[in-house]
Amino acid sequence: MHASAPGKIILCGEHAVVYGRPAIAIPLNDVRARVSIIPGAPGSGVCFDAPDLRRRWLITSAPHDPLSELTLAILRRFGVQRMPDIEIAITSDIPIASGMGSGAAIATAIVRALASAYGRNLSAAEVSALVYESEQRFHGTPSGIDNTVIAYEQAIWFQRRSEPPHQIEPIAIAEPFTLLIGDTGVRSATRLPVGEVRRRWQEDPIRYEALFDAVADVVYQARRALAEGDRAALGPLLDRNQALLEEIGVSSPELERLIAAARSAGARGAKLSGGGWGGVMIALVEPETAQQVRQALQAAGATRVLETIVQAAA
């Protein structure tokens, strides 16, 4: 049995979203995690093989691993009484610890593959809820963005409320557009820049609230540009969001080098995506400029460059 799930990126609104402003997140249909379930040796139980994570483990030897717990929860949900003898093979195009939803994508692919193996038809809402529970075990208090975007494979508008449930709704995309994703190769746990922004906000709340309001204005304009299919407007909005993220203090020299290279090579706009201080950046490109922007990113030090087409959505 085989299944897959996309990665995701924040198109605009990161960091400000923590403080009640909206963000737009989109699935990366061409950048995916894949899971295959194959029969194992009799008596072997459940074995995970994840070469991209450089891990191989038995569910019995690591029962509290988030993926082990997720698998056990699904087997219980399906009424499986005896531990099956299967191997869960995991591969992924999605860079780890890059803000691209690697963990949620792998979890979604596991849920889908197990559902297929046991002949169960789970709705996107059921898959999302199972993955959210897994994200809670791993992250504590996840926003709900990753599991929703990835399970529904749909662009969403997300806004945190003081009390859950948060506002999560699909958004319209009138015309498809192409993004390049440049990986700096620098890994930074999201909690570090998030914690530093909180410290700065506490020290200077007036300045940071104004920055977050400016980010929110960009996000509202970006939603309008997506709904109207206006790529010419979307590019400068990404640039504006990047300038604000630099003021907020979450960019880095590696990110800015890639962003500058993309713009110089013809990208309509470019910005970091995710927590910052490393990780990835995104560039809005036209099909005819994608190759030269890709080459510029590689020349500027990108450890890899991924390409995805964001599809139109009603």
Catalytic residue among 52, 93, 146, 230: 146
From residue 43, alpha-carbon distances to 37, 54, 64, 67, 124 in Å are 16, 24, 21, 20, 33
Catalytic residue at 146?
Answer: yes
Closest CA to 122 of 256, 16, 3: 3
Instruction: Render the burial of 29-46: b for 16+ CB within 10 Å, e for the rest.
Output: ebbbbbbbbeebeeeebb
Euclidean distance between CA atoms 287 and 307, whole angstroms: 10
**DSSP notation for 132-194:** HHHHHHHHSS--SHHHHHHHHTS-EEEE--SSSSPEEEE--BSS-EEEEEEE-S----THHHH
Q: Please give the positions annotated as active site.
A: 146
